[in-house]
Amino acid sequence: MTSESNDENVELVPRSDEIVTMYFREAAEVIGLADSMYEVLETSYRETDVQVPVHCDNGGLRVFRGYRVQHNGARGPYKGGIRYHPAVDISEVRALASLMTWKTALLNLPFGGAKGGVNVDPSELSLRELEALTRRFTQTIGHVLGPYRDIPAPDMNTNSQVMAWLMDAYSARFGYTPSIVTGKPLSMGGAPGREQATGRGVVDVTQRAFERVGRSLDGVRVAIQGFGNVGSWAAREFAARGARIVAVSDVGGGIYNADGIDIDAALAANAVTGSVVGLTEADQLAPGALLVCRCDVLVPAALGEVLNRHNAEDIKAEWIIEAANNPTTPIADKIFNNRGITVVPDVLANGGGVTGSYFEWTQNIQQFTWEEEDFNTRLGKRMRTATDETFDAAAKYGVTPRVAAFAIAIERVATAAKLRGYV
């Protein structure tokens, strides 16, 4: 365990994997999971921990640590993103891999859960070094990947270009295999709609959750932390469906405008400077201030554990939509529950990404492409179904949507594990 501060009344913040285990156990108890299942479902199937040496432009050598954790494959091939970030460690990757198992099960996709990551700050690398890193990492973990074994995708600081390098490096060794990875460029077998899918899914889920309590998104004030793939597409889609984006932020800081931020202007500023900071038609926000700004819906779409005991009492939103993975610590989760704030959990809220990846993979293995409209319609349907199932289960068991989502997922994975004879 690590602590959030040095004072004596500290919240002991469990490691990321311990947090997921806590949520798992709470839900497992609700459904009366058999004792024999706990060990199989709590631990990873395989953890690959590799050295990734890269020859640098200056002639030197840097050695990074890379991980691929395959948590559970009872329901299908392992599936999960690869992130490049200096905070990546085995505990984080393990936690995210297990979240993928519960996410794919909740969305009823024929996949298991995995995650990968390299402990690197990609902003310190040139494009050539980034390519070299990606190719070396792919070569090193290639033996545990495969279109019916484990299919990576983008995550934080990895994009369609990184996926293209990954596919090329894998194909050089095993033969042309577009279905080895999702989130590819459109010209290489990517699916129209996939890039937008996580952000769009965030909005599909929010809209459905609102409909269930007789509300629409019209005029709803939304604040979004993170303006990368997920945050920026969620912002566009919220705005397109009538919501008002009052605040957005990125690693450089944030902006706030109670009358609504012009998302096109924010995108244009971001394209020029790489940040939303400095947009003139908005007030500038100090780091962290976005999370506690006046809004109805707060969407963390950047890092994990940003909602914690230090700010949970100050959050003003009525709804928290977890677009990022693991953004809420267990104590903050309890505080939100006590305060009547509805937290739509990550496994549901950002499930549009892996659902879109499933659509891309399906098209790749069938060599049959869909129209983007078809992609979006199917995505919306799946996101609405999962939202209904989660909130229905929450009502049935008298638990939070998070515990309900885990309960549904655990039941599905446990059934498959039992049928396959794992337990």
Count of alpha carbons within 13 Å of 194, Cβ hemisphere only? 29
Verify whether residue 115 is a known catalytic residue: yes
Residue in 31, 50, 251, 292 binding ligand NAD, rule: CB under 6 A: 251
Smallest separation, CB 351 to ligand NAD (Å): 8
Q: CA separation (Å) from 399 to 347, 391, 412?
A: 16, 9, 18
Q: Which two three-digit tokens encode residue 163?
A: 């996926």
The residue (of 147 and 228) whose beta carbon lies closer to ligand NAD is 228
Residue in 13, 20, 105, 156 binding ligand NAD, rule: CB under 6 A: 156
Instruction: Kindly give, in sequence order, each residue whose CB lies less than 8 Å from that of residue 365, ignoring residues fewer than 6 positions away.
Output: 147, 179
The residue (of 30 and 324) whose beta carbon lies closer to ligand NAD is 324
Smallest separation, CB 398 to ligand NAD (Å): 28
Check residue 163 for interaction with ligand NAD (CB under 6 A). no
Q: Please, which of residues 209-228 interact with ligand NAD by CB under 6 A?
A: 225-228
Smallest separation, CB 228 to ligand NAD (Å): 2
Residue in 114, 323, 403, 404 binding ligand NAD, rule: CB under 6 A: 323
Spell 221-231 as b/e; 16+ CB within 10 A means b. bbbbbbbbbbb
Instruction: Kindly give, in sequence order, each residue whose CB lies less than 8 Å from that of residue 380, ignoring residues fewer than 6 positions away.
Output: 200, 204
DSSP class of 188 = G
According to DSSP, the residues that pair with 81 across neighbouring strands are 153
User: Helix, strand, or coil here: 399?
Assistant: coil
Question: In angstroms, rounded to a whole number, what is the distance separating the alpha carbons of residues 247 and 290?
Answer: 7
Question: In angstroms, rounded to a whole number, what is the distance separating the alpha carbons of residues 98 and 102?
Answer: 7
Check residue 230 for interaction with ligand NAD (CB under 6 A). yes
Residue in 157, 179, 355, 387 binding ligand NAD, rule: CB under 6 A: 157
Residue closest to ligand NAD (Cβ) = 228
Query: Which residue among the candidates 115, 184, 316, 381 is catalytic per the annotation?
Result: 115
The residue (of 77 and 353) whose beta carbon lies closer to ligand NAD is 353
Residue in 21, 119, 134, 198 binding ligand NAD, rule: CB under 6 A: 198
Check residue 190 for interaction with ligand NAD (CB under 6 A). no
Instruction: Kindly give, in sequence order, each residue whose CB lies less than 8 Å from that of residue 268, ignoring residues fewer than 6 positions away.
Output: none
The residue (of 219 and 287) whose beta carbon lies closer to ligand NAD is 287
The residue (of 231 and 401) whose beta carbon lies closer to ligand NAD is 231
CB 349 within 8 A of CB 224: no
Total residues interacting with ligand NAD, rule: CB under 6 A = 23
CA-based nearest residue to 221, from 280, 290, 304, 284? 290
Q: What are the residues binding ligand NAD (CB under 6 A)?
A: 154-157, 198, 225-231, 249-251, 301-303, 323-325, 350, 353
Active site residues: 115
